[in-house]
Amino acid sequence: MTTIDPVQTDPVQTYVASQDFAMLVGGRLVEAASGERRDVHDPSTGRVVSSAPAADRADVEAAIDAAADAQPGWEALGVDERIACIERFRELVHANRERLAMIDAIDCGNPVEAMRGDIDICEPYFAGWAAFAKSLTGDVIPASPGNLHYTAHRPYGVVGRITAFNHPAFYAITRPLPSLITGNTLVMKASDETTLSTLAIGELYAEAFPPGVVNVVSGGATVGDAVVTSPRVKRIGFTGSVPTGLLIQRRAAESGHVKHVSLELGGKNAMVVFPDVDLEQAVEGAIFGMNLTVCQGQSCGSNSRVLVHSRIYDDFVNLVASKLDRYRVGVAYEATTDVGPVVSQVHADRVNAYIDSGVQEGATLVRGGGRPEGVPDGGHFIEPALFADVTLDMRIGREEIFGPVMSIFRWDDYDTMLDEVNGLDLGLAASVWTNDLDVAHKTADAIQAGYVWINDSTRHYFGTPFGGAKDSGLGREESVDELRSFLEHKVVHTRLGDARSALDRLLAPSR
């Protein structure tokens, strides 16, 4: 690990351009076997600032070899020794907080202060997984008289992890932990759009874990597909979009083996606002829930659909607009920036096309949506857009944009509003805003989503199962459910014989 002088004037040079980034295979930092590397762009300027190994199937096979070789020894270590490795890893993450936050700001475009926060919020995950793993028990089941039935678990072996682009360091730190602590070894594929912090974290895994326990590869869809289709990878944890999730389920099946696949996918999350709310608090909640100052709204959990009762509708829209005016859009690694660029020009084009479609389909663009003033020419900046008068038949009202675009719907009739909330195939998260307890819980119960907040939004609480309903996912993370999902479960049945005659035989006087 390179030591970095914190007093620097050019973070791009210091944290990225002057550094080497390699993959981790079998405890060694390596290049792709082909020697190929792909350019890494800084979304704040559009400039090439580094490169990362461009792996192919041969590299994935080498990573799976290493993980398979290391697995029996890792499982044999026992949970306390595995926790000790995780504790060492935690210390290294802390020591590298500034470096990792800066890399994500430069490579991903998220504001650096938010990325420091991403490192800090890993803390409950380290302690939480250790506590769950220590308290993991089996069951004794009274299924029949005279027999003993008990459960036991075993790790799957080699696990594949594929992550999304929007919180790279956070995913690379937290997502492997439940699979590792249960005795699996890992092949993790970094996002091809935001690769560098995952590779830097690979260096920390190399220091903290035995060789081969964690392997990190970088590349695009071909590399992900090689992980998914390998017969030796029995369990896959995926975070990404619905189309890729569907493809992964299909490709996993085409490998000819039954694989256990968990999917954390997209959302078009509704925030439902009743007329009795404290307006100021609800508006702050709507903006906070968009994750604009964390990742430009590029979050699966963002409340990108806000359904506001008509009695407070105009005041709500006006207050959101005036509060959004206070945000400064700019270079992600400058301290004064509130909102950074989106991840790439391709993604900026996609978001801008949604903004155009909103105008064409009749929504009112209240503010934003253009290019902010004073930002670097090549950067992928979009002034946070606020749309009013949005309806479910508009693309901005029903499709995940994954960017700085908030769509506000107006409602009067409760049942019609609920039909709109539940009228999509997506069902990741939602929030309900009212001071009436009965209304809050009745509505939370009626909403088809995996994670529902009342008078709050977007926050995760380690230990509570996170995941999507409907097409937003399969399985639950961040909870004991996830820990158990990395273990195969087995029931052992013991037929107990007649103890009386066994005793008589055993204790009979010897001849």
Q: Under the rule (CB under 6 A), what is the footprint of ligand NAD?
A: 162-166, 189, 191-192, 220-221, 224-225, 228, 239-241, 244, 247-248, 264-267, 300, 400, 402, 428, 468, 473
Which residue, 42 or 264, is less far from ligand NAD as judged by CB? 264
Element housing 339 (H / E): none
Phi, psi (rounded to 5 degrees) for 364? -95, 115
Shortest distance (Å) from residue 76 CB to ligand NAD? 31
Shortest distance (Å) from residue 439 CB to ligand NAD? 27
Q: Are residues 118 and 167 in contact, defined by beta-carbon separation less than 8 angstroms?
A: yes
Which residue, 43 or 330, is less far from ligand NAD as judged by CB? 43
19: left (phi over 0), alpha (psi -120 to 50) or beta: beta
d(CA 358, CA 403): 14
Shortest distance (Å) from residue 414 CB to ligand NAD? 28
d(CA 123, CA 114): 15
d(CA 342, CA 354): 14
Burial (CB count <10 Å: 0-12, 13-18, 19+), residue 174: buried
- 3-state SS, one letter per residue, for 350-396: HHHHHHHHHHHCCCEEEECCCCCCCCCCCCCCCCCEEEECCCCCCHH
Nearest to 252 by CA among 165, 154, 172, 160: 160
Shortest distance (Å) from residue 241 CB to ligand NAD? 3
Which residue, 73 or 243, is less far from ligand NAD as judged by CB? 243
Residues whose CB is less than 8 angstroms from the CB of residue 421 and which lie 6 or more positions away in sequence, other chains included: 270, 272, 305, 307, 430, 447, 448
Query: Which residue has its beta carbon closest to ligand NAD?
Result: 224
Burial (CB count <10 Å: 0-12, 13-18, 19+), residue 498: exposed
Which residue, 238 or 274, is less far from ligand NAD as judged by CB? 238
Angle among Cα 89, 91, 96 to the nearest 5 degrees reads 95
Q: Are residues 254 and 290 in contact, defined by beta-carbon separation less than 8 angstroms?
A: no
Which residue, 93 or 228, is less far from ligand NAD as judged by CB? 228
Q: How many secondary structure helices (H) and strands (E) does the chain include?
A: 20, 21
Shortest distance (Å) from residue 221 CB to ligand NAD? 3
Which residue, 164 or 405, is less far from ligand NAD as judged by CB? 164
DSSP 326: T
Shortest distance (Å) from residue 148 CB to ligand NAD? 40
Which residue, 11 or 43, is less far from ligand NAD as judged by CB? 43
| DSSP-based three-state secondary structure for 446 | helix
Amino acid type, 241: S
The residues annotated with a catalytic role in the active site are 264, 300
Phi, psi (rounded to 5 degrees) for 379? -75, 155
Buried b (16+ CB within 10 A) or exposed e, 229-266: bbebbbbbbbbbebebbebbbebbeeeeeebbbbbbbb
The beta strand positions in 201-333, using DSSP E, are 214-218, 233-239, 260-264, 270-273, 305-309
d(CA 275, CA 130): 44
Which residue, 264 or 420, is less far from ligand NAD as judged by CB? 264
The Cβ of residue 48 has, within 10 Å, a number of other Cβ atoms equal to 11
Shortest distance (Å) from residue 415 CB to ligand NAD? 28
Which residue, 106 or 282, is less far from ligand NAD as judged by CB? 106
Shortest distance (Å) from residue 357 CB to ligand NAD? 18
d(CA 309, CA 349): 32
Shortest distance (Å) from residue 309 CB to ligand NAD? 27
Which residue, 11 or 178, is less far from ligand NAD as judged by CB? 178
Shortest distance (Å) from residue 298 CB to ligand NAD? 7
